[in-house]
Chain A
Amino acid sequence: MKKLSLLVLGLAATQLGATECGQVLRDPGFDLWCGDHLCSWKVVRGDIARAPTWHSSDAGVELVGEDAAISQLAPVDSGDGTCIHFELVANVDDDVEAFLALDIYGDGSIDRRERLPASKWKPLSYNLSIKAPFDGIRFELSKQGAGRAVLGRIHAETARAEDCAGLPPIDGGPAPLGGSCVENADCGSGMCRLVPSPSPFGVAFRCVGCEPPPGAPTCGAGLVCGLGEPRSPVRDVPYECVPAGGDELGELCLTNAECGSQVCNGYICSTCMNDCSGAELCGPAWPRGPSVCSPGEHRRASGEPCATDADCRSGTCNGAQRRTCEDGRPCGNPGDCPVTEGLAPGACTTVGVTGGSCQ
């Protein structure tokens, strides 16, 4: 009965959406500029510039050069829907070849390319059927040729399934690690398992690279099945074979065997598991952080493991800075984090030190 419940929860988790009321793309008006670059769109090739649309201050983006492209990884998944309605307003010269490309999973392989016809600010629209399950679509807009191509509005939203009736679904191929799945065949790894997940249900079917414990070991010598490095903000942190004892204090883990400290507490490599000596208490150094004894009380002597400067008597914890997303995954910038409200990336904040030791 418990297994059945987990199955239902896991299936339900695959149906959870990640869009903003059906809206798929951030900054559909190309209005958010961070200096010379769009804040929400990544320049893939060439260059871009602000360009007026119907009004000088309602700017669009011009793809500059013979070959230019921008892209945005949208967090839409099959839980939001498998029919995407896509609209675009553009001013595309006759001597320009412009394309809308879809990269399902955002793994770098283009799964569908649509030619944008020459247009003088006329709306173009497409309905796209996507084969479920999938996690995230990278939309890429590109142009080739010397003429001008100015994009004014881009609008993508999930639509009703009947709007895509009869359309051949776009198959993004096998799901990568951390992607949603229903059965083994959905995964490139051939393994779809119900695993702990940041989803509200706590578990979800995800493609894994190894058999999570307590299953039969599937990793080679010196490796254990644990939590690897995040691949994409639109997918979960993958289960894969990682070096045994290779994770430092503060890194994600699934079992004790992954951690150099041999203590995995709350999916984080820690130094204690309610086993601190004397009057010291074991607690997280920061929310969703590693558990250490007497966190923040300046008790650790020189050379002892630490997660923050406040753990050390010296007041200095040497080590690499630890930056994490809200779900605890490591990040270098907000673009590495899953989106939050309004399709904006979650915060990537410095929380402490990874693998630190007191000075």
Chain B
Amino acid sequence: MRLPLLLIAAWLLLGGPARADTPPAPEIASYALVVGSNLPGPGQTELRYAEDDARRVAATLAELGGYAPGSVDVVVRPTPDALRQRLDRLTERVRADAAAGRQARVLFYYSGHARSTAIDLGPAALPLEELRQRLLAVPATLKIVVLDACQSGAFSRVKGAAPAADFSFNSRQHLDASGVAVLASSSGSELSQESELLRGSYFTHHLLVGLRGAGDANRDGAVSVDEAYRYAYHHTLVATSATAVGGQHVSLEVELKGHGEVPLSYPRPATSSIELPAAAAGYALIQDRQARAVVAELQKAKGAPARVAVAPGEYDVLLRSGDQVARCPIAAGPGGAVVDLGRCTIEAVAPAARKGAEALLAPRWRVELSGALERERRDAYRATIVDTFDYREDGPLTAEASVGVVREYGHRGLWLGGFASQAASPRYIFDHGEQTLTFRWQTTRIGALAQGERRLVGKLAAFGRAAAGLGIGWTRLVQDDAVTREVFAGPAVELGAGLRLDNVFTRGLGMALGGSFEYAPIIENELGERHDSGGVRVRYGLSYTW
């Protein structure tokens, strides 16, 4: 889960750009330090797309932000010391520019986990206060800070616990005296989410779509901080409002002393673009065919063309209107390309492909196989067979195999699904020479399964599970050639816990070790004694998550 502390703080200490639709003049140096880390801090869950988000931000900045080659520094999974070194190097470069009489603008982007006091870089953290001090120490004329950060404690804060001071609040308090403008998310206590479909966070995705031109409301060829904010605010809120986690509000606080708009990107002079013609209308989705990632989505109205800057390449433009989707393959080369609506193929909307945030919250599924080999439970039922009626237990172990299929809900570690298991008792033999009686039973359990899990460190997660359902017991007594079968039914419940190591050998494959207590008093004898074919079991399992 992500707690987006989107903080776009813009400190405009000197004059802004001369024209909105052109990148800064060469005498204004532009630098970006883009940081991404999927690594979880203590008690947090590993992110999936924070590092990809950072790479996309860096690519967009290099393409559309007016940053010279080599001026966008991408850092993935840094340690605190490594990040300090990058910040120091950035400071030195800006200081050198200042010494040479050149103004500089700096954008700092971070995507990853954060708490109210620090950003988490895996097991180690960088205190926010230190980060602020280091950013303040950069002698740039314009500083833009974007934080798309996660904070595991945010969940409880959303539910009413008093929030700790968040980054934006503290920053604002601290920087007000210098007349600093702050662009921040509305609350540091809202949850943020990653999207399987978008393969990134909702916020960064919509911010980048806005920067590629969808956010250029005044059509001046540049996307300002204000325009990017409005676009990201609207689309992030719409996309997340129907998710299990809830709506996510991006907010902007800006105080730019004596200066106009602050452009963040310049999509018009981009090397390539896709233009939706004036006649196109509906919800438009632009998907990179090779990367299979959505690069832009926008609501296109009839009457005016819409232009989205993209990197050269092949794309699919999906234009939905009503129950129909027009699929338009397009190759965006230098100079851009215009969607030819006449060459689009029309498809019906698949029933499951509903537009909206709910559909975007693609769930994960997991199939689990586990086995247990345990001593048969000692109870009155067994005592009657073995102690009273002299049956010999042919081996002390009960074997059980179980399969479960669960689906994750809300990416909060809650998995729900179903299970089925089969347990077989050892054989019980009464042999008195002339005649042999052999008895055994099997238990089938089917039911609902709920699992909660929490990432401990790296690939290791702890889980707890509860299951309840129907147990069916099958007994079989063989006397010479005569076979007597009986079937019983009863409730079956299970509680368990364990550890799972994810992504072992290959992505998605996990190994689990745990214990469980099963209670399934199903089988009954003629004396009215019921056998609980459960008990305490050690389970060994494999899982696959997709």
Contact = CB atoms under 8 A, between A and B. Distances in A.
A248 interface: no
Contacts of B437: 29, 31, 58
B354 interface: no
Contacts of B486: 56
Interface string A224-257: 0000000000000000000000000000000000
B384 A54 contact: yes
Interface residues of B, number: 23
Given A121-B384, A152-B389, A54 B433 contact: no
A28 interface: yes
Interface string B471-487: 00001010100101010
Interface string A143-170: 0000000001101000000000000000
A342 B390 CA distance: 18
Given A27-B435, A32-B435, A121-B527, A57 B385 contact: no
A209 B433 CA distance: 38
A89 interface: yes
A55 B525 contact: yes
B389 A53 contact: yes
Given A27-B434, A58-B430, A343-B433, A153 B479 contact: no
A123 interface: yes
B527 A54 contact: yes
A319 interface: no
A343 B475 CA distance: 31
B434 A32 contact: yes
A122 B435 CA distance: 23
Nearest to A342: B433
Q: Which of B433, B479, B482 has the most CB of A within 10 A?
A: B433
B419 interface: no
B526 A53 contact: yes
B435 A58 contact: no
A121 B526 CA distance: 11
A55 B438 CA distance: 12
Contact of A57 (B388, B432, B433, B482): B482
B434 A56 contact: no
A93 to B, nearest CB: 15
Q: Which of B384, B388, B430, B439 has the most A CB atoms < 10 Å from its CB?
A: B388
A29 B388 contact: no
Nearest to A123: B388
Interface string B209-232: 000000000000000000000000
A103 to B, nearest CB: 23
Contacts of A27: 432, 434-435
SS of B interface (majority): mixed
Interface string B423-439: 00000001011110101
B261 interface: no
B436 to A, nearest CB: 9
Nearest to B381: A54
B129 interface: no
Q: Choose among B475, B486, B527 the residue with the greatest number of A CB atoms under 10 Å from its CB.
A: B527
Interface in A1-34: 20, 23, 26-29, 31-32
Contacts of A343: 433
Contacts of A58: 389, 430, 437, 439, 477, 479
A120 B380 CA distance: 13
A31 to B, nearest CB: 5
Interface in A251-281: none
B476 to A, nearest CB: 10
A196 interface: no
A23 B390 CA distance: 14
Report the contact-size class of chain A (Cβ under 8 Å from the partner). 20 to 34
Given A123-B387, A153-B388, A55 B433 contact: no
A52 B389 CA distance: 12
A262 B200 CA distance: 117
B526 A55 contact: yes
A29 B527 CA distance: 17
Nearest to A40: B434
Contact of A26 (B387, B388, B434, B439): B434
Interface in B472-505: 475, 477, 479, 482, 484, 486
A317 B388 CA distance: 57
B526 to A, nearest CB: 5
B388 A31 contact: no
A155 B389 CA distance: 10
A317 B482 CA distance: 45
B433 A20 contact: yes
Contacts of B526: 52-56
A344 interface: yes
B484 A29 contact: no
Interface in B398-455: 430, 432-435, 437, 439
A90 B196 CA distance: 67
B477 A55 contact: yes
Interface in A304-359: 342-344
A183 to B, nearest CB: 36
Contacts of B439: 55, 58
Contacts of A23: 432-433
Interface string A75-118: 00000000000000100000000000000000000000000000
B433 to A, nearest CB: 4
Nearest to A26: B434
A343 B434 CA distance: 9
Interface string B147-179: 000000000000000000000000000000000
A23 B387 CA distance: 18
A240 to B, nearest CB: 35
Contacts of B475: 55
Contacts of B390: 28-29, 153, 155
Contact of B477 (A29, A57, A121, A122): A57
A89 B389 contact: yes
9 contacts: A26-B434, A29-B432, A32-B434, A52-B526, A55-B484, A55-B525, A152-B388, A153-B388, A342-B434
Given A55-B526, A56-B526, A121-B388, 20 more contacts: A23-B432, A26-B434, A28-B390, A28-B432, A29-B435, A52-B526, A55-B439, A55-B475, A55-B484, A56-B484, A57-B477, A57-B479, A57-B482, A57-B484, A58-B389, A89-B389, A120-B527, A153-B390, A155-B390, A343-B433
The 5 closest A-B pairs by CB, nearest first: A57-B484, A342-B433, A54-B525, A57-B477, A52-B526
Interface of B: 384-385, 387-390, 430, 432-435, 437, 439, 475, 477, 479, 482, 484, 486, 525-527, 529
